[in-house]
Structure 1
Amino acid sequence: MHPSIPLRTLGAVASLCLAFHNDSAIAAGMIPETPVVVVDQQWGEATLNVRNSDDRPALLYSSVENIAEDTERLLVLTPPVARVEPGQSQQVRFILASDKPLTTERLKRVILEGIMPRQDAGGARISLSVRQNIPVILRPANLPIDRAPWKRLTWTAGVNQLQVSNPSPYVVRLAKSVTLLPGGQTLELNRTYILPGETLKLVAASTLGSHVRLFPATTYGFAVDSYDAPLSRR
Protein backbone atom coordinates (compact mmCIF):
# COMPACT_ATOMS: atom_id res chain seq x y z
CA MET A 1 0.00 0.00 0.00
CA HIS A 2 1.46 3.37 -1.03
CA PRO A 3 1.31 6.30 1.41
CA SER A 4 -1.47 8.82 1.09
CA ILE A 5 -0.80 11.83 -1.06
CA PRO A 6 0.24 14.91 0.98
CA LEU A 7 -2.12 17.85 1.36
CA ARG A 8 0.15 20.11 -0.69
CA THR A 9 -0.51 17.99 -3.78
CA LEU A 10 -4.29 18.04 -3.51
CA GLY A 11 -4.18 21.18 -5.60
CA ALA A 12 -3.13 18.97 -8.51
CA VAL A 13 -6.46 17.18 -8.31
CA ALA A 14 -8.38 20.45 -8.33
CA SER A 15 -6.39 21.82 -11.23
CA LEU A 16 -6.89 18.58 -13.14
CA CYS A 17 -10.66 18.89 -12.88
CA LEU A 18 -10.45 22.41 -14.28
CA ALA A 19 -7.85 21.61 -16.91
CA PHE A 20 -9.63 18.61 -18.34
CA HIS A 21 -13.19 19.87 -18.28
CA ASN A 22 -12.33 21.85 -21.38
CA ASP A 23 -8.89 23.26 -20.66
CA SER A 24 -10.40 26.71 -20.13
CA ALA A 25 -12.81 28.35 -17.74
CA ILE A 26 -16.41 28.02 -18.90
CA ALA A 27 -18.37 31.25 -18.70
CA ALA A 28 -21.41 32.69 -20.42
CA GLY A 29 -20.96 32.81 -24.16
CA MET A 30 -20.17 30.05 -26.64
CA ILE A 31 -20.14 26.65 -24.93
CA PRO A 32 -18.96 23.48 -26.71
CA GLU A 33 -21.03 20.34 -26.11
CA THR A 34 -17.92 18.25 -25.37
CA PRO A 35 -14.56 19.13 -23.75
CA VAL A 36 -12.53 17.39 -26.49
CA VAL A 37 -12.99 16.79 -30.23
CA VAL A 38 -11.83 13.43 -31.61
CA VAL A 39 -11.39 13.12 -35.38
CA ASP A 40 -10.96 9.54 -36.59
CA GLN A 41 -9.11 9.25 -39.90
CA GLN A 42 -11.36 6.35 -40.82
CA TRP A 43 -14.24 8.82 -41.18
CA GLY A 44 -12.17 11.84 -42.17
CA GLU A 45 -14.17 14.34 -40.13
CA ALA A 46 -16.05 15.07 -36.92
CA THR A 47 -18.55 17.66 -35.74
CA LEU A 48 -18.98 19.77 -32.62
CA ASN A 49 -22.09 21.64 -31.54
CA VAL A 50 -21.42 25.02 -29.92
CA ARG A 51 -24.24 26.74 -28.04
CA ASN A 52 -24.73 30.46 -27.53
CA SER A 53 -25.66 30.65 -23.84
CA ASP A 54 -26.19 34.43 -23.91
CA ASP A 55 -29.47 36.27 -24.33
CA ARG A 56 -28.49 38.00 -27.58
CA PRO A 57 -27.13 36.94 -30.97
CA ALA A 58 -23.39 36.56 -31.39
CA LEU A 59 -20.86 35.70 -34.05
CA LEU A 60 -18.97 32.46 -33.50
CA TYR A 61 -15.37 32.59 -34.76
CA SER A 62 -13.68 29.16 -34.97
CA SER A 63 -10.04 28.46 -35.76
CA VAL A 64 -7.47 25.66 -35.47
CA GLU A 65 -4.37 26.29 -33.36
CA ASN A 66 -1.24 24.13 -33.62
CA ILE A 67 0.66 23.11 -30.50
CA ALA A 68 4.32 24.10 -30.38
CA GLU A 69 5.51 20.51 -30.85
CA ASP A 70 3.39 19.82 -33.96
CA THR A 71 2.87 22.59 -36.51
CA GLU A 72 1.87 20.46 -39.50
CA ARG A 73 -1.37 21.59 -41.11
CA LEU A 74 -3.67 18.59 -40.79
CA LEU A 75 -7.07 20.04 -39.99
CA VAL A 76 -9.53 22.55 -41.39
CA LEU A 77 -12.89 23.56 -39.99
CA THR A 78 -16.05 25.06 -41.36
CA PRO A 79 -17.71 27.48 -41.00
CA PRO A 80 -14.99 29.77 -39.66
CA VAL A 81 -17.64 32.40 -38.84
CA ALA A 82 -21.35 31.94 -38.11
CA ARG A 83 -24.13 33.93 -36.47
CA VAL A 84 -25.72 32.05 -33.57
CA GLU A 85 -29.04 33.11 -32.07
CA PRO A 86 -29.60 33.16 -28.28
CA GLY A 87 -29.90 29.65 -26.86
CA GLN A 88 -29.24 28.08 -30.26
CA SER A 89 -26.33 25.90 -31.40
CA GLN A 90 -24.02 26.00 -34.39
CA GLN A 91 -22.40 22.84 -35.75
CA VAL A 92 -18.70 23.14 -36.58
CA ARG A 93 -17.15 20.52 -38.89
CA PHE A 94 -13.55 19.35 -38.46
CA ILE A 95 -12.10 17.90 -41.66
CA LEU A 96 -8.75 16.15 -42.04
CA ALA A 97 -6.74 18.05 -44.64
CA SER A 98 -4.22 15.29 -45.44
CA ASP A 99 -4.69 11.93 -47.16
CA LYS A 100 -1.43 10.63 -45.72
CA PRO A 101 -2.16 7.85 -43.21
CA LEU A 102 -1.62 8.81 -39.60
CA THR A 103 0.67 6.48 -37.68
CA THR A 104 0.03 7.95 -34.21
CA GLU A 105 -2.51 10.20 -32.58
CA ARG A 106 -1.88 13.91 -33.16
CA LEU A 107 -2.89 16.84 -30.97
CA LYS A 108 -4.29 20.18 -32.11
CA ARG A 109 -6.47 22.80 -30.45
CA VAL A 110 -9.55 24.71 -31.53
CA ILE A 111 -10.34 28.29 -30.52
CA LEU A 112 -14.05 29.13 -30.23
CA GLU A 113 -14.74 32.80 -29.74
CA GLY A 114 -18.06 34.58 -29.40
CA ILE A 115 -18.23 38.24 -30.49
CA MET A 116 -21.25 40.16 -29.23
CA PRO A 117 -22.02 43.74 -30.27
CA ARG A 118 -23.07 45.84 -27.28
CA GLN A 119 -23.82 49.48 -26.67
CA ASP A 120 -22.34 51.50 -23.80
CA ALA A 121 -24.01 54.44 -22.02
CA GLY A 122 -22.60 56.91 -24.55
CA GLY A 123 -24.07 55.05 -27.50
CA ALA A 124 -20.73 53.75 -28.80
CA ARG A 125 -20.61 50.25 -30.21
CA ILE A 126 -18.21 47.82 -28.53
CA SER A 127 -17.61 44.06 -28.82
CA LEU A 128 -17.13 41.62 -25.98
CA SER A 129 -15.37 38.34 -26.59
CA VAL A 130 -15.64 35.05 -24.70
CA ARG A 131 -13.09 32.47 -25.80
CA GLN A 132 -12.92 28.69 -25.39
CA ASN A 133 -9.77 26.71 -26.15
CA ILE A 134 -10.20 22.92 -26.30
CA PRO A 135 -8.05 20.03 -27.56
CA VAL A 136 -8.60 18.13 -30.81
CA ILE A 137 -7.17 14.61 -31.10
CA LEU A 138 -6.62 13.14 -34.56
CA ARG A 139 -6.72 9.33 -34.52
CA PRO A 140 -5.26 6.91 -37.07
CA ALA A 141 -7.78 4.71 -38.83
CA ASN A 142 -8.33 1.39 -37.06
CA LEU A 143 -6.23 2.32 -34.03
CA PRO A 144 -7.66 0.26 -31.14
CA ILE A 145 -9.27 2.28 -28.37
CA ASP A 146 -7.17 2.34 -25.20
CA ARG A 147 -9.14 3.64 -22.23
CA ALA A 148 -6.02 3.94 -20.05
CA PRO A 149 -3.09 4.99 -22.28
CA TRP A 150 -1.25 6.50 -19.29
CA LYS A 151 -0.39 2.95 -18.21
CA ARG A 152 1.88 2.74 -21.27
CA LEU A 153 4.19 5.51 -19.99
CA THR A 154 7.59 4.46 -18.68
CA TRP A 155 9.16 6.32 -15.74
CA THR A 156 12.90 6.17 -15.07
CA ALA A 157 14.89 7.72 -12.20
CA GLY A 158 18.35 9.25 -12.56
CA VAL A 159 20.38 11.65 -10.44
CA ASN A 160 18.00 14.43 -9.35
CA GLN A 161 15.94 13.77 -12.45
CA LEU A 162 13.00 11.69 -13.59
CA GLN A 163 12.37 10.80 -17.20
CA VAL A 164 8.99 9.87 -18.64
CA SER A 165 8.65 8.33 -22.08
CA ASN A 166 5.61 7.59 -24.18
CA PRO A 167 6.42 4.69 -26.54
CA SER A 168 2.76 4.29 -27.51
CA PRO A 169 0.81 5.75 -30.47
CA TYR A 170 -1.55 7.52 -28.06
CA VAL A 171 -1.61 11.10 -26.77
CA VAL A 172 -1.54 10.83 -22.98
CA ARG A 173 -3.26 13.63 -21.08
CA LEU A 174 -2.63 14.27 -17.39
CA ALA A 175 -2.26 16.98 -14.76
CA LYS A 176 0.77 19.27 -14.88
CA SER A 177 2.30 17.76 -11.73
CA VAL A 178 3.06 14.24 -10.49
CA THR A 179 4.04 12.91 -7.07
CA LEU A 180 7.00 10.72 -6.15
CA LEU A 181 6.12 7.88 -3.78
CA PRO A 182 6.97 7.36 -1.03
CA GLY A 183 7.79 10.79 0.30
CA GLY A 184 5.30 12.89 -1.61
CA GLN A 185 7.74 15.08 -3.57
CA THR A 186 5.82 17.02 -6.25
CA LEU A 187 7.38 17.26 -9.71
CA GLU A 188 6.27 19.56 -12.52
CA LEU A 189 5.55 18.50 -16.11
CA ASN A 190 4.49 22.07 -17.02
CA ARG A 191 1.95 20.85 -19.58
CA THR A 192 -1.03 18.55 -19.70
CA TYR A 193 -0.02 16.09 -22.42
CA ILE A 194 2.74 13.73 -23.52
CA LEU A 195 2.86 13.03 -27.25
CA PRO A 196 3.54 9.65 -28.90
CA GLY A 197 7.27 8.91 -29.00
CA GLU A 198 8.07 11.82 -26.70
CA THR A 199 10.39 11.85 -23.68
CA LEU A 200 10.20 14.55 -20.99
CA LYS A 201 12.57 15.21 -18.10
CA LEU A 202 11.46 16.38 -14.65
CA VAL A 203 13.77 17.98 -12.10
CA ALA A 204 13.70 16.31 -8.69
CA ALA A 205 15.40 17.17 -5.39
CA SER A 206 15.70 13.43 -4.85
CA THR A 207 14.66 10.41 -6.87
CA LEU A 208 14.29 8.06 -3.91
CA GLY A 209 11.00 6.32 -4.51
CA SER A 210 9.33 3.29 -6.02
CA HIS A 211 6.35 4.79 -7.84
CA VAL A 212 5.09 7.96 -9.49
CA ARG A 213 1.52 9.05 -8.83
CA LEU A 214 -0.12 10.80 -11.75
CA PHE A 215 -3.57 12.26 -12.31
CA PRO A 216 -4.69 11.25 -15.81
CA ALA A 217 -7.61 12.10 -18.04
CA THR A 218 -9.36 10.00 -20.65
CA THR A 219 -9.16 10.74 -24.36
CA TYR A 220 -12.46 12.57 -24.02
CA GLY A 221 -11.14 14.85 -21.28
CA PHE A 222 -12.64 13.40 -18.11
CA ALA A 223 -10.52 13.05 -14.98
CA VAL A 224 -10.19 9.55 -13.50
CA ASP A 225 -8.65 8.10 -10.34
CA SER A 226 -4.97 8.67 -9.77
CA TYR A 227 -2.59 6.02 -11.05
CA ASP A 228 0.66 4.85 -9.43
CA ALA A 229 3.20 3.95 -12.11
CA PRO A 230 6.29 1.88 -11.26
CA LEU A 231 9.58 3.76 -11.25
CA SER A 232 12.64 2.04 -12.68
CA ARG A 233 16.33 2.89 -12.21
CA ARG A 234 18.92 3.65 -14.87
Structure 2
Amino acid sequence: MRRYLIALGVLLVSLGWGGVTWAGIVIGGTRVIYPADQREVTVQLSNNGELPSLVQAWVDTGNPEASPEDSEAPFVIFPPIARVEPGSGQVLRLVFGGDRGLAEDRESLFWLNVLDVPPSPQRSEGDPVNFMQLAFRSRIKLFYRPPGLEGHADRAPAQLRWSLSRDPQGQPVLVGENPTPFYVNLSHLGLQGRSLEIGDGQLPPYGEVTFPLPGGVSRDVSRGEFTFINDYGGRVTRDFSL
Protein backbone atom coordinates (compact mmCIF):
# COMPACT_ATOMS: atom_id res chain seq x y z
CA MET A 1 0.00 0.00 0.00
CA ARG A 2 2.77 2.44 0.93
CA ARG A 3 4.70 1.82 -2.26
CA TYR A 4 1.52 2.37 -4.22
CA LEU A 5 0.85 5.69 -2.49
CA ILE A 6 4.34 7.12 -3.00
CA ALA A 7 4.47 6.42 -6.72
CA LEU A 8 5.27 9.68 -8.44
CA GLY A 9 2.28 10.77 -10.47
CA VAL A 10 0.73 7.32 -10.37
CA LEU A 11 -0.90 6.43 -13.66
CA LEU A 12 -2.94 3.25 -13.87
CA VAL A 13 -4.05 2.52 -17.38
CA SER A 14 -5.69 -0.55 -18.87
CA LEU A 15 -6.26 -0.96 -22.58
CA GLY A 16 -9.58 0.33 -23.76
CA TRP A 17 -10.14 2.50 -20.65
CA GLY A 18 -13.68 3.71 -20.23
CA GLY A 19 -13.32 6.72 -17.92
CA VAL A 20 -11.01 9.07 -16.02
CA THR A 21 -10.82 9.76 -12.26
CA TRP A 22 -9.45 13.17 -11.21
CA ALA A 23 -8.20 14.33 -7.81
CA GLY A 24 -9.04 17.58 -6.00
CA ILE A 25 -6.67 18.19 -3.05
CA VAL A 26 -5.44 21.79 -2.77
CA ILE A 27 -2.63 22.98 -0.48
CA GLY A 28 -3.32 26.21 1.38
CA GLY A 29 -0.19 28.07 0.28
CA THR A 30 2.73 27.89 -2.14
CA ARG A 31 5.50 27.54 0.46
CA VAL A 32 5.99 26.73 4.13
CA ILE A 33 8.15 28.75 6.53
CA TYR A 34 9.29 26.86 9.63
CA PRO A 35 10.72 29.23 12.29
CA ALA A 36 13.03 27.18 14.50
CA ASP A 37 11.55 28.64 17.68
CA GLN A 38 8.13 27.10 16.99
CA ARG A 39 7.19 23.61 18.16
CA GLU A 40 5.30 22.93 14.95
CA VAL A 41 3.72 24.55 11.90
CA THR A 42 0.50 23.57 10.20
CA VAL A 43 -0.50 23.26 6.56
CA GLN A 44 -4.15 23.26 5.51
CA LEU A 45 -5.36 20.85 2.83
CA SER A 46 -8.77 21.16 1.16
CA ASN A 47 -10.60 18.67 -1.00
CA ASN A 48 -12.29 20.71 -3.72
CA GLY A 49 -13.26 17.63 -5.69
CA GLU A 50 -16.43 15.59 -5.72
CA LEU A 51 -14.86 12.39 -4.39
CA PRO A 52 -12.93 11.50 -1.22
CA SER A 53 -9.15 11.31 -1.58
CA LEU A 54 -6.44 9.39 0.19
CA VAL A 55 -3.55 11.73 0.94
CA GLN A 56 0.04 10.91 1.87
CA ALA A 57 2.49 13.63 2.92
CA TRP A 58 6.25 13.63 3.52
CA VAL A 59 9.28 15.94 3.36
CA ASP A 60 12.37 15.41 1.22
CA THR A 61 15.76 17.11 1.12
CA GLY A 62 15.70 17.95 -2.58
CA ASN A 63 15.50 14.61 -4.35
CA PRO A 64 12.07 14.39 -6.02
CA GLU A 65 12.47 10.62 -6.29
CA ALA A 66 12.82 10.15 -2.51
CA SER A 67 10.05 8.16 -0.86
CA PRO A 68 8.92 8.64 2.76
CA GLU A 69 11.07 5.66 3.74
CA ASP A 70 14.13 7.06 1.93
CA SER A 71 13.86 10.67 3.03
CA GLU A 72 16.47 12.01 5.46
CA ALA A 73 14.60 15.24 6.17
CA PRO A 74 14.37 16.00 9.91
CA PHE A 75 10.60 16.49 9.93
CA VAL A 76 7.68 14.39 11.08
CA ILE A 77 4.19 14.93 9.67
CA PHE A 78 0.94 14.14 11.50
CA PRO A 79 -1.00 12.46 10.04
CA PRO A 80 1.26 11.00 7.33
CA ILE A 81 -1.75 9.39 5.61
CA ALA A 82 -5.33 10.63 5.77
CA ARG A 83 -8.64 10.29 4.00
CA VAL A 84 -10.15 13.68 3.09
CA GLU A 85 -13.83 13.83 2.26
CA PRO A 86 -15.13 16.06 -0.57
CA GLY A 87 -15.82 19.61 0.57
CA SER A 88 -13.77 18.97 3.70
CA GLY A 89 -10.18 19.56 4.78
CA GLN A 90 -7.25 18.17 6.70
CA VAL A 91 -4.60 19.95 8.76
CA LEU A 92 -1.05 18.63 8.48
CA ARG A 93 1.17 19.22 11.52
CA LEU A 94 4.89 19.49 10.71
CA VAL A 95 7.23 18.88 13.64
CA PHE A 96 10.98 19.45 13.44
CA GLY A 97 12.77 16.37 14.75
CA GLY A 98 16.35 17.60 15.24
CA ASP A 99 19.00 19.69 13.52
CA ARG A 100 20.97 16.83 11.89
CA GLY A 101 23.82 19.21 11.21
CA LEU A 102 21.76 22.01 9.68
CA ALA A 103 23.46 25.38 9.32
CA GLU A 104 22.67 27.82 12.09
CA ASP A 105 23.66 30.96 10.17
CA ARG A 106 21.28 30.58 7.20
CA GLU A 107 18.03 29.02 6.03
CA SER A 108 17.84 25.40 4.89
CA LEU A 109 15.60 24.29 2.04
CA PHE A 110 13.37 21.20 2.06
CA TRP A 111 10.33 20.12 0.05
CA LEU A 112 6.84 19.17 1.26
CA ASN A 113 5.19 16.45 -0.83
CA VAL A 114 1.44 15.86 -0.89
CA LEU A 115 0.27 12.85 -2.91
CA ASP A 116 -3.44 12.79 -3.73
CA VAL A 117 -4.88 9.39 -4.67
CA PRO A 118 -8.59 9.43 -5.58
CA PRO A 119 -10.66 6.29 -5.07
CA SER A 120 -11.55 3.95 -7.88
CA PRO A 121 -14.92 4.92 -9.36
CA GLN A 122 -17.94 2.95 -8.28
CA ARG A 123 -19.44 0.93 -11.10
CA SER A 124 -22.92 -0.22 -11.78
CA GLU A 125 -23.66 -3.39 -13.66
CA GLY A 126 -23.07 -2.81 -17.35
CA ASP A 127 -20.59 0.07 -16.85
CA PRO A 128 -17.16 -0.21 -18.55
CA VAL A 129 -14.71 -2.24 -16.48
CA ASN A 130 -11.60 -0.41 -17.63
CA PHE A 131 -10.72 3.07 -16.38
CA MET A 132 -7.74 5.40 -15.96
CA GLN A 133 -6.84 6.67 -12.51
CA LEU A 134 -4.49 9.60 -11.94
CA ALA A 135 -2.74 10.34 -8.66
CA PHE A 136 -1.42 13.88 -8.34
CA ARG A 137 1.62 14.91 -6.32
CA SER A 138 2.15 18.51 -5.25
CA ARG A 139 5.62 19.53 -4.10
CA ILE A 140 6.23 22.92 -2.46
CA LYS A 141 9.22 24.51 -0.77
CA LEU A 142 9.73 24.27 2.97
CA PHE A 143 12.19 26.76 4.47
CA TYR A 144 13.67 26.02 7.89
CA ARG A 145 14.61 29.38 9.45
CA PRO A 146 17.04 29.26 12.41
CA PRO A 147 16.61 31.83 15.18
CA GLY A 148 18.66 35.00 15.35
CA LEU A 149 19.45 35.35 11.64
CA GLU A 150 20.81 38.77 10.75
CA GLY A 151 18.30 40.95 8.92
CA HIS A 152 14.78 40.16 7.75
CA ALA A 153 13.61 37.87 4.97
CA ASP A 154 11.37 40.54 3.41
CA ARG A 155 14.37 42.86 3.02
CA ALA A 156 16.71 40.30 1.48
CA PRO A 157 15.67 40.95 -2.17
CA ALA A 158 16.66 44.62 -1.87
CA GLN A 159 20.17 43.56 -0.82
CA LEU A 160 20.90 41.45 -3.90
CA ARG A 161 23.94 42.55 -5.91
CA TRP A 162 23.93 42.42 -9.70
CA SER A 163 26.80 42.61 -12.18
CA LEU A 164 27.74 41.62 -15.73
CA SER A 165 30.45 39.03 -16.34
CA ARG A 166 31.36 36.14 -18.65
CA ASP A 167 31.08 32.41 -18.13
CA PRO A 168 34.02 29.98 -18.67
CA GLN A 169 33.10 29.78 -22.37
CA GLY A 170 33.30 33.55 -22.69
CA GLN A 171 29.56 34.12 -23.00
CA PRO A 172 28.08 37.20 -21.30
CA VAL A 173 26.08 36.50 -18.14
CA LEU A 174 24.29 38.39 -15.43
CA VAL A 175 25.53 37.52 -11.93
CA GLY A 176 23.17 37.71 -8.96
CA GLU A 177 24.79 37.64 -5.52
CA ASN A 178 22.83 37.06 -2.34
CA PRO A 179 24.72 38.36 0.74
CA THR A 180 21.92 37.48 3.16
CA PRO A 181 21.09 34.31 5.19
CA PHE A 182 17.71 33.98 3.43
CA TYR A 183 16.69 32.29 0.19
CA VAL A 184 15.44 34.68 -2.49
CA ASN A 185 13.09 33.09 -5.05
CA LEU A 186 12.67 34.78 -8.41
CA SER A 187 9.78 34.35 -10.84
CA HIS A 188 11.05 36.87 -13.40
CA LEU A 189 14.31 38.60 -14.34
CA GLY A 190 14.63 41.14 -17.13
CA LEU A 191 17.11 43.47 -18.84
CA GLN A 192 16.19 46.05 -21.49
CA GLY A 193 12.74 44.56 -21.85
CA ARG A 194 14.09 41.04 -22.44
CA SER A 195 13.34 38.16 -20.07
CA LEU A 196 16.23 35.98 -18.89
CA GLU A 197 16.12 32.24 -18.36
CA ILE A 198 16.14 31.84 -14.57
CA GLY A 199 16.08 28.04 -14.09
CA ASP A 200 14.63 27.30 -10.66
CA GLY A 201 14.91 31.00 -9.79
CA GLN A 202 16.64 30.41 -6.47
CA LEU A 203 19.41 32.56 -5.07
CA PRO A 204 20.72 30.62 -2.04
CA PRO A 205 21.98 32.30 1.13
CA TYR A 206 25.52 33.71 0.77
CA GLY A 207 25.63 32.37 -2.78
CA GLU A 208 25.57 33.60 -6.35
CA VAL A 209 23.90 32.47 -9.56
CA THR A 210 24.71 33.30 -13.18
CA PHE A 211 22.02 33.91 -15.80
CA PRO A 212 22.83 33.81 -19.55
CA LEU A 213 22.10 37.05 -21.36
CA PRO A 214 19.59 36.80 -24.20
CA GLY A 215 20.49 38.10 -27.61
CA GLY A 216 19.93 41.79 -28.17
CA VAL A 217 20.95 42.93 -24.67
CA SER A 218 23.75 45.47 -24.96
CA ARG A 219 26.82 45.36 -22.73
CA ASP A 220 26.24 48.93 -21.56
CA VAL A 221 22.94 48.09 -19.85
CA SER A 222 22.84 49.65 -16.38
CA ARG A 223 19.45 48.69 -14.95
CA GLY A 224 17.10 45.72 -14.84
CA GLU A 225 14.14 44.35 -12.95
CA PHE A 226 13.20 41.20 -11.10
CA THR A 227 10.10 39.73 -9.49
CA PHE A 228 10.50 37.76 -6.28
CA ILE A 229 8.11 35.59 -4.27
CA ASN A 230 7.74 36.55 -0.62
CA ASP A 231 6.93 34.42 2.44
CA TYR A 232 3.22 34.63 1.70
CA GLY A 233 3.46 33.57 -1.95
CA GLY A 234 2.96 37.12 -3.22
CA ARG A 235 4.94 38.44 -6.18
CA VAL A 236 6.78 41.76 -5.84
CA THR A 237 8.69 43.52 -8.65
CA ARG A 238 11.79 45.66 -8.04
CA ASP A 239 14.26 47.52 -10.19
CA PHE A 240 17.99 47.04 -9.70
CA SER A 241 21.20 48.75 -10.80
CA LEU A 242 24.29 47.03 -12.16
Tell me the alpha carbon deviations over residues 60-85 of structure 1, each in whole angstroms, 9 at most, x when there is no partner: 111213236xx963333222211111
SS in 2 for 1:118: coil
Structure 1: 5+ residue stretches without partners = 1-26
43 and 230 in structure 1: CA distance in 2 versus 1, 3 angstrom threshold = same
Partner of residue 114 from structure 1, selected from 111, 116, 122: 116
| 2:179 aligned with 1:173 | no
Cα distance between partner residues in 2 of 1:185 and 1:35: 27
| 2:212 aligned with 1:200 | no
- Identity over aligned pairs, percent: 26
| 2:161 aligned with 1:154 | yes
Normalized against structure 2, the TM-score is what?
Answer: 0.73
Partner of residue 29 from structure 1, selected from 24, 28, 32: 24
Normalized against structure 1, the TM-score is what?
Answer: 0.75
Partner of residue 137 from structure 2, selected from 121, 131, 151: 131
8 Å Cα contact 1:30-1:132 kept in structure 2: no
Tell me which residue corresponds to 1:17. Answer: none
When Rg is computed on C-alpha atoms for both structures, the one with the higher figure is 2
Tell me which residue corresponds to 2:96. Answer: 96
Structure 2: 5+ residue stretches without partners = 1-21, 64-70, 167-171
- Higher helix fraction (1 or 2): 1
Tell me which residue corresponds to 1:54. Answer: 49
Cα RMSD of the aligned pairs, angstroms, is 2.4
Cα distance between partner residues in 2 of 1:196 and 1:50: 30
| 2:59 aligned with 1:64 | yes
Structure 1 runs (4+) greater than 6 angstroms displaced = none
Q: CA deviation at 1:163?
A: 1.0
Q: Which amino acid aligns with 1:82?
A: A
Cα distance between partner residues in 2 of 1:93 and 1:104: 23
Tell me which residue corresponds to 2:241. Answer: 230
Q: CA deviation at 1:200?
A: 0.8
Tell me which residue corresponds to 1:24. Answer: none
The answer to which of 166-175 and 49-58 deviates more is: 49-58
8 Å Cα contact 2:163-2:175 kept in structure 1: yes
Cα distance between partner residues in 1 of 2:37 and 2:47: 31
SS in 2 for 1:151: helix
8 Å Cα contact 2:60-2:73 kept in structure 1: no
Tell me which residue corresponds to 1:21. Answer: none
192 and 72 in structure 1: CA distance in 2 versus 1, 3 angstrom threshold = farther
Q: Which amino acid aligns with 2:74?
A: L
Cα distance between partner residues in 2 of 1:174 and 1:96: 27
